[in-house]
Structure 1
């Protein structure tokens, strides 16, 4: 294995961790909300945001972080990169989903359902 192959997993971890932190910042997620979405404590979510904690590729929080970034990218495309519009959509009750997306994404099932919903909507646009 060369050094590039050894660095690749660390790079993926760093990039995803930074992307998740950026989503949390743009969507104004609290540490409690981010922790619930990723299955982490609020304290660990705080460390993630500060760069003191990195998501590991074999962990459930890493997988959930990928879903969160996917949701962000899909919603960003649907909303035309309007962060205020995206935040409003997340915080508004959605009859199709049966609740506010910001509340639903706190569970694995909810995060998956909301992501699939936005992806399906995006496919029709």
Structure 2
């Protein structure tokens, strides 16, 4: 197992940034949604999605981005990699979130964490 301390910060930043871009693309999310999920400005989210910005390690945006990737990985495994189904889940009212759209819920820190825990719990049952 590779320890994160032995991997240069620039490599960790590149990997997480690419994972966020891929997850956002597969879920059909643009900069307006992404900015709210990872706590970045709209211009920063646009640059990130266009490959002109890398998330700096540490800080809230880094942590939220890691949780966003966790959410995507959990959701993708539950829908067997069907991105259309994953997009549909994000944009459909869900009783687990008091009838709200998961996409709106994950724009709050507590909602993102709750959605990750919810999906992880469902993955455990599979």
Q: Does the alignment reach a TM-score above 0.5?
A: yes
Classify the secondary structure of the residue corresponding to 2:57.
coil
Alignment partners' CA distance in 2, 1:59 and 1:47: 18
**Which residue in the other structure is 1:36 paired with?**
36
State how 1:1-125 maps to structure 2 within 5 Å. 8-98=8-98, 99-125=100-126
Shift of 1:7: 5.8
Q: Indicate the larger mover: 52-61 or 102-111.
A: 52-61
- Give 4+ residue runs of structure 1 displaced > 2 Å after superposition: none
Structure 1's 44 and 97: CA in aligned 2 closer, same or farther, altered over 3 A?
Answer: same
Alignment partners' CA distance in 1, 2:81 and 2:123: 13
RMSD of aligned Cα (Å): 1.3
Shift of 1:96: 1.4
Alignment partners' CA distance in 1, 2:111 and 2:7: 33
Shift of 1:6: 7.6
Structure 1's 6 and 95: CA in aligned 2 closer, same or farther, altered over 3 A?
Answer: closer
Classify the secondary structure of the residue corresponding to 2:95.
coil
Structure 2 unaligned blocks of 5 or more: none
Shift of 1:52: 1.6
Alignment partners' CA distance in 2, 1:49 and 1:6: 27
Q: How many residues align?
A: 121
